[in-house]
Amino acid sequence: MGNRRLVILGLLAAVILVTLYYATRPSERITLLPQPDGSPSAVVVRSKMGSTSVLDRPYSVATVTPIRIGSSQTDEASVRARYNDALDALPARPRSFTLYFRSGGTGLTPESERFLPVMMKVLTELNERPASELTVIGHADEVGTDALNDELSRRRAMRVAALLKARRIDTTRATIVGRGSRDPLVPAKKGVSEERNRRVELRLN
């Protein structure tokens, strides 16, 4: 009976030691940074013991140990103060924008017309980065023949490139292409009009 009690005590001691080991291990700190274009993002954080937490607000923080996850909220100034050297060492993040077009031509939708000044302001600032690469990709929906859509998507890309040039944004090294209806944002049958596929994507790396 005494030996059995010693075994049980030994097992309890081992459990306590393992628990203390995991509880006192250094924690990991994960901070969700905002997307460059302000769009929402989220990440799921999981501990080794299976606990989970979702970070879905800019500058939300998860403090992770093997047995638990703590959560808190910080702000840009605090993150900059804490990780200034690391942030300065990061390469500039790529930015992307999308403009949408009316059916059959190179006219922007009203929503994209209103968004244009905001996009131009950001692009003007970002285009000052050294060795930045600009790509302008035109797209069309499934209305019309493939040949017509190839030409239309190219014209849309050229129209946006002209708008950039008019705002003194450097387009001399820009890659300007038309993809026709080959890369739909929303799958659609041939002949179906879909505004979200009538677009130009701008990518600045």
- Which residue has tokens 């993150």? 79
CATH topology of domain 95-204: 60s Ribosomal Protein L30; Chain: A; (3.30.1330)
Structure tokens that stand for 23 in this block:
């509880």
Give the N- to C-terminal CA distance of the chain in Å, as an integer: 72
pLDDT per 10-residue tile (average), the chain, 205 residues: 50 44 62 69 76 82 80 84 74 78 94 90 72 87 94 96 90 91 90 93 86
- Which residue has tokens 């002949």? 191
3-state secondary structure 73-140: ECCHHHHHHHHHHHHHHCCCCCEEEEEEECCCCCCECHHHHHHHHHHHHHHHHHCCCCCCCEEEEECC
Domain boundaries, the chain: 27-89, 95-204
* Residue 137 contacts residue 179 (beta carbons within 8 Å): yes
User: Residue 136's closest CA among 152, 109, 156?
Assistant: 156
- Rounded distance between C-alpha atoms, residue 19 and residue 13, angstroms: 10
Question: What is the structure's pLDDT at 14?
Answer: 44
Kind plus residue range of the DSSP H or E element containing 202? strand 199-204
DSSP state of 27: P
User: Residue 175's closest CA among 184, 187, 164, 186?
Assistant: 164
- Rounded distance between C-alpha atoms, residue 54 and residue 68, angstroms: 13
**Does the reported pTM lie above 0.85?**
no
Question: What is the structure's pLDDT at 105?
Answer: 94
